[in-house]
Amino acid sequence: MSGATHSARGFWPVMGQAFLWAFLLAVGVVVLYPLLWMGLGGFKSNSQIFDQPFALPQDWSLENYFSAWRGVQGYMVSSLLVTLVSTVATVLISARAAYGLTRTAMPAKPLITAFVLGGMMLSPTVALVPLVRMLQSLGLYDTHWALIILYTAFRVPFTTFLIRAYMLDLPRDLDEAAMMDGASPGQIYRRIILPLCRPIVVSCVVLHILFAWNEYLFAMIFTNSPGVQTLPVGLTSLMSKQGTDFAQVFAAMTLSALPIVIIFFLTQRYFIRGLTEGMAK
């Protein structure tokens, strides 16, 4: 009797693990299959995409990818510039703000914290009209700086929220020991606090890159020139220029998704660790 009970107790954990793996495999297929189908579509002809959408390519030529690259390389340069500059600016401002809100004494700190984090509740679509007029009056409309400023301004509250949540649980004994050794607040921030926050900083970098690289609304409204427009807008214009040549469109979409996939796989260890520890804290 005890043996049967022991077997029953061992059966359910095995079944639960099997169902978990089956669920994760199904989610993986749902996520990866569209990306694989899109990448393979770049090797097909336009007629094969419509006649045999789920078949393997008949000709594994890279001509569609070369043509797509020639069509989007200018937009990709703009996306790289805007994404890199806005990422650096957002993370530096947010990390410094989080340090001030958690490790320094300032009057009305709860009110300032609520004001900064309240920026997450501001909808970008509500502010479109005044932002257009403001950037036009400043001479920044249809420039890379317009997107850099907007991406930085709208992402600083959320990034500050994540880094602040991580810093709150860091032991203050480190600050006190460093101050006893003669370190200034700036040195404590640069040499102690910031290195300890590396996981959440990497997570914030990846999240901002993902946002800035794929953002479409601001890029469409605040830019007009092809030399300034970013990749999401370029993909739309490429589709209209190429008509029904979806093979080149799929190739261009694959090229646009490839940098994000590479960055995520290179930083996934820090990314997952930073988010899980930051949310837990």
CA 171 to chain centre: 29
| Mean pLDDT computed over 78-95 | 95
The band of 241, judged by pLDDT with boundaries at 50, 70 and 90, is: low
- 104 phi/psi in degrees, rounded to 5: -125, 155
- pLDDT per residue over 92-125, tens digit each? 999 999 998 888 877 777 888 888 888 777 777 8
What the block records as the tokens of 246 is 């979806």
Are 151 and 207 in contact, with CB atoms under 8 Å apart? no
For position 242, what pLDDT does the model report?
47
- Average pLDDT of the segment spanning 35-52: 84
Residue 229, pLDDT > 60, answer yes
- Nearest partner of 152 among 210, 198, 85, judged by Cα: 85
Mean of per-residue pLDDT scores for the chain: 84
pLDDT at 123: 78
Give the mean model confidence (pLDDT) for residues 22-50: 84
CA 48 from centre of chain: 34
Confidence (pLDDT) at 186: 81
